[in-house]
């Protein structure tokens, strides 16, 4: 139980730094980690399992949509982590 508490404290200490730059968090986690890799994989799987050829416009639309969804997911993660961080701070203040 002690190791779990130490891990949580370490996580919240790291979050305290990440939360300062919301735009960087959204770009990194939304676009680079989620959006672009998923868009590329989905698009090339679509080409692989159909008779379509590579089309730049379709690829760009796919990238745009998946990056948008990635940003929305990252925003949801950010807000969720921020709520947890605020609860952690409130709990620390009570102790």
In a domain, 82, yes or no: no
User: pLDDT: is 95 or 23 the higher one?
Assistant: 23
The answer to whether 79 touches 25, Cβ cutoff 8 Å, is no
More confident residue, 56 or 4: 56
Domain presence at residue 62: no
Tens-place pLDDT, residues 39-62: 999 988 888 887 778 888 989 999
How many domains are contained in the chain?
A: 1
CA angle 81, 17, 11 (to 5 degrees): 55
Question: Is 93 domain-assigned?
Answer: no
**What is the model's pLDDT at position 1?**
47
Q: State yes or no: pLDDT of 37 exceeds 70.
A: yes
Answer whether residue 37 is part of any domain: yes
Question: In this structure, is residue 46 part of a structural domain?
Answer: yes
């Amino acid at each position: 139980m002690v190791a779990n508490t130490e891990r949580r404290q370490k996580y919240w200490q790291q979050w305290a730094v990440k939360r300062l730059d919301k735009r960087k968090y959204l770009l990194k986690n939304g676009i680079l980690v989620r959006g672009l890799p998923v868009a590329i994989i989905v698009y090339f799987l679509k080409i692989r399992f159909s008779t379509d050829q590579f089309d730049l416009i379709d690829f760009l639309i796919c990238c745009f949509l998946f990056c948008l969804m990635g940003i929305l997911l990252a925003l949801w993660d950010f807000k969720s982590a921020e709520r947890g961080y605020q609860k952690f701070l409130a709990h620390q203040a009570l102790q």
